[in-house]
Structure 1
């Protein structure tokens, strides 16, 4: 299977060099945190399992596991593995591993500890993982959100834009100002695609929608996320969305008496009054598949991009404040995404500059989706192109 172009993946494409520089310069914004020591995260295997040799699996996380967001969602997937396979496997994880050279050291150490299936959960681990994979042909490597593969390294990702679109349907129905706000992390195709999909979802029920964006140039930085959220509220946005990893945006909306969404995991507890719904990623199905492949000797390289259809994306904990007809609309979209009868990126779609980016009835393929470097009509401002 051809590897999908996904999270930060179109940095490789010609004509996108500026965004590549942005990701390269800004994607390592978590370097101030040193990685914690590896944590053995499963019960000791039984004597029989030890004799057979459990499959040792390691995870490298870019952020803290915490209780919400991107890394939390990955760790829930790891726990699903333990529940599924029991003493056939043993899992280990290291959290707060910065993207860049430090990641190579940590991944080599995980291999040195005897792990033969290694998951790296952020784009910035791509080059380090390729280096370690080349030196360890008998170890299988799984890289989240990347686009480069090797004989013993494949990629996987989630279609987060599907959750963004469903959230947009709710946002467009709940806003009173017709102005939505998005706190963006780093201006790369994945994030831009999510902002656009959120806007398209909102416009599907409310053509008057305008979306304002504030970029914080970090995946996990609660103070910056809070500042960005407050800036959007000051600009008249009354429903907030995010492509960042903490619950700070939701908490800011809660304090201001406005609405917001959770992202990557269910964040409803962080802002019970403001929370409209959470777009979540369920990594469990893929982690179970990958582990089963390794256990059964059927693992092959390639790439996977899963969404609602495969159970990887969902919109959950929809607030009672959301009208019944809007919930029905969301369920219709979800059902359509699941059976293939509904397509988010289907023309005509017009860019911010008024030019058609997708002709009438044309359906965007994964190459198009992976290369999105423009705002759709209704999104205000410009996409940053430098530090």
Structure 2
């Protein structure tokens, strides 16, 4: 005999089924990895700036495992190509996008307006919005320490600097070196050659040779290849590496390297997104939080190395800030009064050479 289906058990079954379906959908949604993208101006094998950002991306992937999905696009020129690449990432539903070169600033800001639900962080720039933050390293701290080492190690009292573009980040780093030279070896001059490129080993090598031919016996760079270090090693002068540890390219040349460690910041930002706590900020990382590391070579005399480490410790503790007045520009106009330290806003827009630099700043 056919018996009618009891409505109460049916309700129970349907509720259980609905709960099961809901649970399975929730688990699936929770399991979807956070998509994190990186846009690089150079090749990941440049052994410099882009290489270190790629190490940061790898740190994110290793730390979060299957909670995140990371990808990168390398060799992206600044300009229209950058905007296209960034927009494509946003279209592909990336949750967090890091754009890692100053020249990406306008492209990042444009795309951020078009995709308000996507979060962006731009390296070394100053434009921000609700879904666009900025980050950079206080590389000038490392430059000051490098300037101290150069002041102690130079014999010609001429220091060379292979520069990329005349943006505030590069100018303040040149100034930081000169401030250290002024204090520890007054009269020592920094010479600058602009190559108008972030990564061009040929131009970087030519610029280094030109500086050495002018008498420079310590070479700095604000470019991304190892060419300046290798040229300094071959020519028998000292050098200070940038972005990554360059010692293996010039074991007899490299006094120290200003190493950018981006992993901690990338991990912290990714975690903030996962936790729903990400907020736009202007992050400045330096020696005190490990964003900058400075391995000092044993070719530096022990007493000089010890003094350098004392300077590093004073910067880490906050007892010393390189851009503390009185500081004048190269024409003698006071820019930072005695006893006053430049703010991040002051440093972000720095556009003058300090006293002691004889070169003309490109306009």
Normalised to the residue count of structure 2, the TM-score between the two structures is 0.89
Deviation of residue 360 (structure 1)?
2.1
Q: Distance in 1 between matches of 2:241 and 2:213?
A: 20
Q: Which residue of 2 aligns with 1:255?
A: 234
Q: Distance in 2 between matches of 1:159 and 1:333?
A: 15
Paired residue secondary structure (1:197): helix
- Structural mapping, 1:319-358, within 5 Å: 319-358=297-336
Contact kept, 8 Å, 1:170 with 1:202, in 2: the verdict is no
Q: Distance in 2 between matches of 1:219 and 1:66?
A: 14
Runs (4+) off by over 6 Å: 48-51
Which of 134, 141, 145 does residue 155 from structure 1 map onto?
134
- Structural mapping, 1:308-319, within 5 Å: 308-316=287-295, 318-319=296-297
Which of 140, 149, 153 does residue 174 from structure 1 map onto?
153
Which of 265, 272, 280 does residue 301 from structure 1 map onto?
280
Deviation of residue 248 (structure 1)?
1.0
Q: Distance in 1 between matches of 2:187 and 2:353?
A: 16
Q: Which residue of 2 aligns with 1:119?
A: 98
Contact kept, 8 Å, 2:261 with 2:292, in 1: the verdict is yes
Deviation of residue 138 (structure 1)?
1.8
Cα pair distance change 1:326/1:112, threshold 3 Å? same
Deviation of residue 150 (structure 1)?
1.9
Q: Distance in 2 between matches of 1:131 and 1:370?
A: 21
Q: Which residue of 2 aligns with 1:198?
A: 177
Per-residue CA deviation, residues 303-357 of structure 1 (Å, 9 max, x unaligned), is 21121122111212x2211011211122112111111111111122232223333
Deviation of residue 70 (structure 1)?
0.7
Q: Distance in 1 between matches of 2:93 and 2:30?
A: 15
Q: Distance in 2 between matches of 1:151 and 1:354?
A: 40
Per-residue CA deviation, residues 55-87 of structure 1 (Å, 9 max, x unaligned), is 111101111011511111111111111121111
Q: Which residue of 2 aligns with 1:41?
A: none
Which of 347, 362, 367 does residue 340 from structure 2 map onto?
362
Paired residue secondary structure (1:183): strand
Contact kept, 8 Å, 2:41 with 2:50, in 1: the verdict is yes
Q: Distance in 1 between matches of 2:62 and 2:272?
A: 17
Per-residue CA deviation, residues 208-252 of structure 1 (Å, 9 max, x unaligned), is 311111111111111111111111111111111111111111111
Deviation of residue 377 (structure 1)?
2.2
Q: Which residue of 1 aligns with 2:360?
A: 382
Paired residue secondary structure (1:310): coil
Paired residue secondary structure (1:308): coil
Paired residue secondary structure (1:201): helix
Contact kept, 8 Å, 2:42 with 2:75, in 1: the verdict is yes
Q: Distance in 2 between matches of 1:113 and 1:65?
A: 22
Q: Distance in 1 between matches of 2:346 and 2:46?
A: 34
Number of residue pairs the alignment of both structures matches: 337
Consecutive unaligned residues in structure 1, runs of 5 or more: 1-47
Deviation of residue 186 (structure 1)?
0.8
Q: Distance in 2 between matches of 1:156 and 1:261?
A: 23
Tell which has more relative contact order, 1 or 2 (C-alpha 8 A, sep 6+): 1
- Structural mapping, 1:280-295, within 5 Å: 280-295=259-274
Consecutive unaligned residues in structure 2, runs of 5 or more: 1-26
Q: Distance in 2 between matches of 1:195 and 1:72?
A: 23
Deviation of residue 362 (structure 1)?
2.1
Cα pair distance change 1:371/1:110, threshold 3 Å? closer
Q: Which residue of 2 aligns with 1:79?
A: 58
Normalised to the residue count of structure 1, the TM-score between the two structures is 0.84
Q: Distance in 2 between matches of 1:253 and 1:382?
A: 25
Paired residue secondary structure (2:230): helix
Deviation of residue 290 (structure 1)?
0.5
Paired residue secondary structure (2:288): helix
Deviating more after overlay: 122-131 vs 293-302: 122-131
Q: Distance in 1 between matches of 2:162 and 2:192?
A: 6
